[in-house]
Amino acid sequence: MTRGRPRDTAIEGKVLAAAAEELRQGGYDGLSIDRVAERAGVAKTTLYRRWASKAELVVALIGNLRQDVPFEPSGDPRRDLTELVTAIAATLTATPTTLIADLAAAAAREPRVGESVRALWAERHRAVTAVVAHAQEAGLVLSHVSPAVLVDQLVGPLYYRLLVTGEPLSPDYARTLVRSVLGPEES
């Protein structure tokens, strides 16, 4: 079939495990490719044959670690939206800020990394968009712009606080964002 020496299928797992440990201990900066290679018992060059850069390795790593929490809509848009935005805020606060910022920087440099990072959020992004559209059809949304923009106004502030202003992402803040889009509860 394929001509040459086959790839050692055990390598990928060993490297990802080693990288996960390094990332856990020292964050993005603390993760050294040399140390990952040594810990995995693999040559550094072999590592670069699998992932083109440190950023791509980390993206593959967190894409591997992530087990997406399945989201089951309750039918109540306010409740669903609050749950989703709160969950995103919780994920962002649980992740080291330097990791997110460094991935954003890597995404700005290498388009492939940008696509990978965006793919990580695709599922949640779709869920938020669907709930927003649903809420808008039900006449629950104050403004009349497209759902995509509303999603930006729900999720964007989280990244803005995290990466720019440095303010905390409390669950209460997430609720406030939803309240701003849907208006105050009426009961």
Q: Using CB under 8 A as the criterion, which residues of the chain lie in contact with its own copies when the complex forms? A: 29, 97-98, 100-102, 104-105, 107-109, 114, 117-118, 121, 142-146, 149-150, 152-153, 155-161, 163-166, 173, 176-177, 179-181, 183-184
Distance of CA 80 to the CA centre of its chain: 19
Residue 153 binds which entry of its own copies, DNA, none, with Cβ cut-offs from 5 to 8 Å by kind?
its own copies
Residue in 39, 44, 175, 179 binding DNA, rule: CB under 7 A: 44
Cα separation, 28 vs 106, in Å, equals: 12
Site for DNA in 3-22 (CB under 7 A): 3-8, 11
Number of residues that bind DNA (CB under 7 A): 27
Residue 142 binds which entry of DNA, its own copies, none, with Cβ cut-offs from 5 to 8 Å by kind?
its own copies
- Burial degree of 53 (CB within 10 A; 0-12, 13-18, 19+): middle
**Cα four-point dihedral sign 102, 125, 52, 107:** negative
Is 2 near DNA (CB under 7 A)? Answer: yes
